């Protein structure tokens, strides 16, 4: 397990920084320490990335050449899939099969952007039709420069891949700051980049606290673009920092995603998608299915099946076989989620299932899968992101009411609708104000499709070709193609 910083192609100690304890959320044991990078370390990393961008080969080589490096990184991740997945479980707590899924997805993300990098070479130049034939004009895409990426702890390597792969494909160089809670696989990603011979300074990884290393990165004048995933309050700070010197910024923030289930839906299908949507990754998912709206006629049946099935979820150490729900990531997160459940019941909500630490698990940051009903619309449980395995379920009477309730949120990341009536599914999907809408399912995520939110859930889109565009500037090149004088002061 690594603990140094990766700056300018070499592993270095933090100059003045201390260390951060790495805690196993399943046991509460400190099993490692990583460097608490400082503003000086961030400065060294940005300078290295700056040099690699301004003077290095990376932005100047062909897309296919960059693609080869990305494919080699994908291969490096795949070769170590099992080791990386185990590290992720130790660091984050998630069940091992989920971690294996994430690591496979991270490798797939590098492959996908390798293809897009290769395609950059073959794209025909986009010519612009001008109303004046003395000119020709074309549009070219160029890398935005040095990217600063700040990521959260819920999908540590996957969130890194979502930023590093498109940024490198575009020809950017970068500094990545992982979450202080889950830095281990980001350091391994740097090691893989080193192994495949990525040119020095192209990818730098600085571990550290958000308030120190994170803020230093957002404030650094050498950064051209900030790419952030995390909470709304931090996203707002990142955007304010970006505003000071007009850095490009993309934000992937929180959500309170609704799932509208109509009476004609198959109740067993609905229960499975709801449980996957809110208990997968312990509910620590930005797009988690946290508000379920059920048409009156199906409400009681669906609720009783959901409560029954929630009680069957196996809870325990993510390393153990057959576990579906691991611990939350940290003591702080555990307290936030249990406090939120308590505040919900105090505000009038009913605890239909879960809400407690399982009796058999007195160590580790565990909480049972939790189902809340009668949640007041103005309460925090209904309006705020809990980021844990807690779902609020509520009946509705009409399609219009369901849409109004679903859209009544400051978030707009994701939403879902379930019905056998195709026309209604499409109609409701188009009325839902969210960047991602699922019909008859909830949560499946594809590297090929755009990911991002409306409203306070963010700005910009990751994944797919949109993810690449995040790291590209648009340049017009306009040429005067006649010998004739322009004639501003001398008439032809
Ligand atoms: P967070 O905002 O606390 O931290 C995110 C990152 O920002 C961490 O690396 C942290 O160190 C850093 N940071 C903290 N303060 C900073 C500052 N002042 N300046 C710069 N960086 C700073 O979020 P979290 O608790 O790590 O993650 C949970 C949140 O992330 C949830 O709200 C969730 O919805 C969101 N999330 C969104 C998506 C998405 O795609 N939309 C994906 C995953 C998580």
Dist. CA 394 → ligand 1 center (Å): 29
In the predicted model, what is the mean pLDDT of residues 445-467? Answer: 98
Catalytic residue among 180, 286, 385, 462: 286
Of 93, 230, 286, 462, best ligand 1 pocket probe by most atoms within 8 Å of the beta carbon: 230
> Of all residues in the chain, what percent are helix, strand and coil, respectively (each to 5)?
40, 20, 35
Q: For residue 378, indicate whether it is catalytic.
A: no
Catalytic residue among 252, 295, 309, 385: 252
Q: Is the pLDDT of residue 124 over 90?
A: no
Predicted pLDDT at 122: 87
Q: How far apart (Å, rounded) are the C-alpha atoms in residues 110 and 438?
A: 25
Cα 248 to chain centroid, rounded: 18
Of the candidates 436, 439, 443, 446, which has an alpha carbon nearest to the alpha carbon of residue 412? 436
Cβ–Cβ under 8 Å, residues 233 and 456: no
Predicted pLDDT at 401: 98
Predicted pLDDT at 187: 98
Dist. CA 210 → ligand 1 center (Å): 9
Q: For residue 392, indicate whether it is catalytic.
A: no
Dist. CA 233 → ligand 1 center (Å): 9
Count CB neighbours of 243 within 10 A. Answer: 10
In the predicted model, what is the mean pLDDT of residues 318-343? Answer: 98
| pLDDT grade for 492, boundaries at 50, 70 and 90 | low
The fraction of the chain above a pLDDT of 90, given in percent, is: 98
Q: Is the pLDDT of residue 332 over 90?
A: yes
Parse the chain into domains and list their residue ranges: 5-253+457-477, 258-439
Per DSSP, helices labelled H in 199-310 are 215-219, 232-244, 267-279, 296-310
* Nearest protein CA to atom 26 of ligand 1, as residue: 152
* 283-303 pLDDT tens trace: 999 999 999 999 999 999 999
Phi, psi of 168, deg, nearest 5: -70, -40
Q: CATH topology for 258-439?
A: Aldehyde Dehydrogenase; Chain A, domain 2 (3.40.309)
Q: Is the pLDDT of residue 467 over 70?
A: yes
Whether 258-439 and 5-253+457-477 are alike in CATH topology: the answer is: no
* 240-278 pLDDT tens trace: 999 999 999 999 999 999 999 999 999 999 999 999 999
| Residues framing ligand 1 (Cβ under 6 A) | 150-154, 177, 179-180, 210-211, 214-215, 218, 229-231, 234, 237-238, 252-255, 286, 385, 387, 413, 458
* Nearest protein CA to atom 39 of ligand 1, as residue: 252
For the domain with range 5-253+457-477, which CATH number is right: 3.40.140.80, 3.40.50.720, 1.10.274.100, 3.40.605.10? 3.40.605.10
Predicted pLDDT at 86: 98
């Amino acid at each position: 397990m690594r603990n140094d910083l990766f700056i300018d192609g070499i592993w270095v100690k933090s100059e003045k920084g201390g260390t951060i304890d790495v805690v196993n959320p399943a046991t509460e044991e400190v099993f490692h320490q990583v460097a608490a990078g400082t503003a000086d370390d961030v400065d060294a990393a940005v300078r290295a990335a700056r040099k690699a961008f301004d003077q290095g080969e990376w932005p100047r080589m062909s897309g296919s050449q960059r693609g080869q490096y990305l494919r080699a990184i994908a291969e490096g991740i795949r070769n170590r899939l099992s080791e990386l997945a185990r590290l992720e479980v130790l660091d984050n707590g998630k069940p091992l099969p989920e971690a294996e899924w994430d690591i496979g997805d991270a490798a797939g993300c590098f492959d996908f952007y390798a293809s897009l990098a290769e395609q950059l070479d073959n794209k025909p130049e986009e010519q612009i039709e001008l109303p004046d034939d003395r000119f020709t004009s074309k549009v070219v895409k160029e890398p935005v420069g040095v990217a600063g990426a700040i990521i959260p702890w819920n999908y540590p390597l996957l969130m890194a891949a979502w930023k590093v792969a498109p940024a490198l494909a575009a020809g950017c160089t970068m500094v990545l700051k992982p979450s202080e809670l889950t830095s281990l696989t980001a350091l391994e990603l740097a090691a893989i980049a080193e192994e495949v011979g990525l040119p020095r300074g192209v990818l730098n990884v600085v571990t550290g606290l958000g308030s120190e290393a994170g803020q230093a990165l957002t404030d650094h004048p050498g950064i051209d673009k900030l790419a952030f995933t995390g909470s709304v309050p931090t996203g707002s700070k990142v955007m304010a920092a970006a505003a000071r010197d007009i850095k490009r910024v993309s934000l992937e923030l929180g959500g309170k995603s609704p799932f509208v289930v109509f009476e004609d839906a198959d109740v067993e299908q609905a229960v499975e998608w709801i449980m996957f949507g809110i208990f997968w990754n312990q509910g620590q998912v930005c797009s988690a299915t946290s508000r379920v709206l059920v048409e009156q006629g199906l409400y009681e049946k669906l609720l009783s099946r959901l409560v029954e099935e929630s009680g069957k979820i196996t809870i325990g150490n993510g390393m153990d076989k057959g576990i579906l729900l691991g611990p939350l990531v940290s003591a702080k997160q555990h307290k936030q989620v249990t406090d939120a459940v308590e505040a919900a019941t105090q505000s009038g909500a009913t605890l239909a299932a879960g809400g407690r630490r399982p009796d058999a698990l007195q160590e580790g940051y565990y909480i049972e899968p939790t189902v809340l009903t009668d949640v007041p619309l103005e309460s925090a449980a209904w309006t705020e992101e809990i980021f844990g395995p807690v779902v609020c379920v509520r009946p509705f009477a009409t399609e219009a009411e369901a849409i109004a309730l679903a859209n009544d949120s400051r978030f707009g990341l994701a939403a879902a609708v379930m019905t056998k009536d195709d026309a209604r599914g499409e109609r409701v999907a188009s009325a839902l104000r969210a960047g991602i809408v699922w019909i008859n399912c909830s949560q499946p995520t594809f590297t090929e499709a755009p990911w991002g939110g409306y409203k306070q859930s963010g700005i910009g889109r990751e994944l797919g070709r949109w993810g690449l565009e995040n790291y590209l500037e648009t340049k017009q090149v306009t040429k005067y193609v006649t010998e004739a004088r322009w004639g501003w002061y001398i008439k032809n």
